[in-house]
Amino acid sequence: MRIVVKVGTSTLAHSTGNLNIRHMEELCKVLSDIKNAGHEVLLVSSGATGMGAGKLGLVEKPEDIAAKQAAAAVGQCELMYTYDRLFEQYGHCVAQILLTRMDVEDEDHRANLHNTLFRLLEYRALPVINENDSVATEEFFIGENDTLAAMVGGIVGADLIVLLSDIDGLFTADPHLDPEAELISDVREIKPELLEMAGGPDNELGSGGMYSKLKAAETAMSVGCDMIIASGSQPDILYDIVEGKSAGTRFWAGGDNS
Ligand code: GLU
């Protein structure tokens, strides 16, 4: 199986901004084991800006573009240094790929990216992908990594894209606020009502940043990839996922007939 796994800052870091060592160690261990079992893994990892801000000792969260880009430049090193050390323990080699929208959308750039990713997989390296936050300009900004993961999934023809999130999947309401909220385990079509339930584009916090995840799922489905949203607090869930067991919410690219 070829699988793209996306992890967000909420999985990689504590609310203090410091590294969540347990989560990161578990994630790297499970991904290494999944690779050892013969699967191909690509990791889309956020965390550069947050880690950079922490490393620079910035008291305030960086707000202006130059401060965010500077923090990302520092944090990306820290992120790769951490992944390199952790994956090396299990004999895996990481490769950093930083992208802007142009690399995915321009035909020549995309072909290049495709070839590089496939060569890395052939070499059994583990591509660790992020947006090129330190230089991306507004024109070529993707902005969030859920969509980036869906785009990467399309380029490599992934069997599955997994978004590890701070919630267990898509719920009928925000589970942080509503105890009656129920998990929706299968989605075969992203209907407008679903996007509305997630709070719409202007209310990203409506149900835990779910709107951008639904838009990413829409992109994944349109390029023929299934997507799963599951909790990143227990990276072990990836074992169930590669074994085809039900976990979190699965978006089926096959639509109604799958
Ligand atoms: N690329 C951003 C970073 O590494 C994260 C984007 C996102 O969280 O989706 O800080």
pLDDT in tens, 118-160: 999 999 999 999 999 998 887 778 888 999 999 999 999 999 9
Q: Determine the Cα–Cα distance for residues 196 and 175; give it in Å rounded to an integer.
A: 16
Share of the chain above pLDDT 90, in %: 72
**pLDDT band, residue 202 (cuts 50/70/90):** low
Query: How many whole angstroms from its chain centre is CA 130?
Result: 9
What is the number of residues in the chain? Answer: 258
Report the C-alpha dihedral over residues 61, 94, 30, 150, rounded to 10 degrees: 70
Tell me if 47 CB under 6 Å of ligand 1: yes
pLDDT of residue 91: 98
Return the DSSP state at 173: S
* Residue 10 predicted with pLDDT over 90: no
pLDDT tens-digit map of 73-89: 999 999 999 999 999 99
Rounded average pLDDT over 26-32:
98
Distance between Cα 8 and ligand 1 center (Å) = 7
Cβ of 130 closer than 6 Å to ligand 1, yes or no, is yes
Q: Is 49 in the pocket of ligand 1 (CB under 6 A)?
A: yes
CA of 7 to the centre of ligand 1 (A): 9
Percent of the chain with pLDDT over 70: 95
Residue 233 Cβ contacting ligand 1 at under 6 Å: no
Return the pLDDT at 208: 46
Residue 33 has pLDDT above 70, yes or no: yes
User: Which of 12, 44, 49, 63 for mutating ligand 1's site (highest number of atoms within 8 Å of CB)?
Assistant: 49
Question: What spacing in Å lies between the alpha carbon of 72 and ligand 1's midpoint?
Answer: 9
pLDDT of 206 higher than 50: no
Tell me what pLDDT residue 205 has: 45
Q: Atom 9 of ligand 1 has which residue's CA nearest to it?
A: 144
Q: Which residue has the tokens 């967000």?
A: 8
Closest Cα to residue 229, out of 55, 32, 6?
6
Indicate if the pLDDT at residue 201 is higher than 60: yes
What pLDDT score does 228 carry?
A: 97
Residue 132 Cα, ligand 1 centroid: separation in angstroms? Answer: 10
